[in-house]
Structure 1
């Protein structure tokens, strides 16, 4: 037995007689003594001084809070197909024609009738029952050759539409009893409108494949989205609705998408100015944008109360030519790419 353990027992019996009784083992007595020494050596943390200085919150710069509107017109038609997509979808049509069962013409046309003769004439011309896959024999020796080169006219949507309409006109005129009048079937509207050809950026009938956004021009000549300061009793959404009515008129059927902003822009003035009514020094403006949609109507600046001079409906990449670079960089990620 070491001398250290003997000393611990003696100290335990002197300092704490209660733990030296027979009910407590010797090892526990030594542990209690060590804990007593450790607690005695623990320093007491000093109390905080009452003379410490009181900290005050740091007041940041004050900004004017504006509500802006990203008013958009969604795409009206699907996008143009690429040359590869056109060739691929056309190939799928021919593949379906080749793998499908042969067309049972006598189920639809009685032998020897005018419709049967008209059917035979068309099959001799295009070699297939389908009207939109060009000349192709799905059951001949060249049936395997069902692909087109990229850019072939047979895969163009306009060519396919014209083939379908011409076939329908031919059928209608051949079966009509009045041979003096040729029936004409209306063609689909072109994907490029008159506004596209004229470059009319104020028309909503342009860029039908793209999302267009409303931009307005201030009296200083800067282009921006409609925006105005938020009143004390307004939410950002209510302020956005009021702003749109004051800037672009009431001749539009619009609605706001949600209650929360989708983007924001911070303008720091070069020289802070003081508000004459409140006496508060303003460091700049913070504009929070609410997304909106137009369903009908058109913008009208004739009665606007914000001294706006002009407006345009522009796609995302077109805005870069009109908006200031910091302004465009702040909101471009909230705009639709198509």
Structure 2
């Protein structure tokens, strides 16, 4: 037992959600840790059910024997003795609302040394740990969350303090698509096709709009198509109406003067969508692949199509940590323009996490949020 694990009298305890196998979750209780000098202990205000958690819950993801969750807004309950500011140099104190980056950048691996922080080889060193390992609260599906010294975190802008739920997904969906689209070299006047209108797709649509792009969203669920329009989609394509790849590609060409889109973004999480995306792009187009994060799902693919069209492919599974700061500023500046609050359409107390997972899996809700404190 390490010095961190020594029990203390009358210690505060918290609860967390632990997964030890497919569709097997349980609640665990642990002593709330005190922070190390450069760390922060928080209370979780709210945390979301993302598609990644559904993959883990189904056993369709490399993570297991861990605490669940990554999208969250937290309130500082105790600062390490050396922590005076957030990662942008903004002064912080106990009681402040923050958004933490859910992975670490270790600063010493090969990729961090190259400045490729979004590829850190040790990104999940803490998030993938068993909760039995101190400081226990490795992820935000719990009453508390421990922010390590190697994790960036940012204080919420004043404009978001009264509606913190708007920022709850910033450390995943919005930061991810902002980083990915920037990597493609998105430009004013580009035509951008978004494959899928879930949380990532809607955030991608809003960001592409603000960059001056014309946006086309492909979906097949009525509520998602409606929401895509609310998030500024210039055009929507219902794949129930355009029910073949050829029909959807032809429709994109009709909307782009016969050439195809400049940029396509795959956020449907369906392997077949990658093959389709090549058909939607113009020669010399750029393709951003983000939705297919699960290894082991194969499709037949003709690489010659990719080469003959000179398509540039960018993949992104994380982002440089300071992008979260930009994402929060983006939300603060556009919160009255897009209905971000509607992205979270169901709220559950933490104790009802299994219901939240089941209803999310069955697509009875678009995005569920868990409210841990007081439950």
TM above 0.5: no
Which has the larger Rg? 1
> Going by fraction, where is strand more abundant, 1 or 2?
2
TM, length-normalised to structure 2: 0.18
> Going by fraction, where is helix more abundant, 1 or 2?
1
| Higher relative contact order (Cα pairs below 8 Å, separated by 6+ residues) | 1
TM, length-normalised to structure 1: 0.20
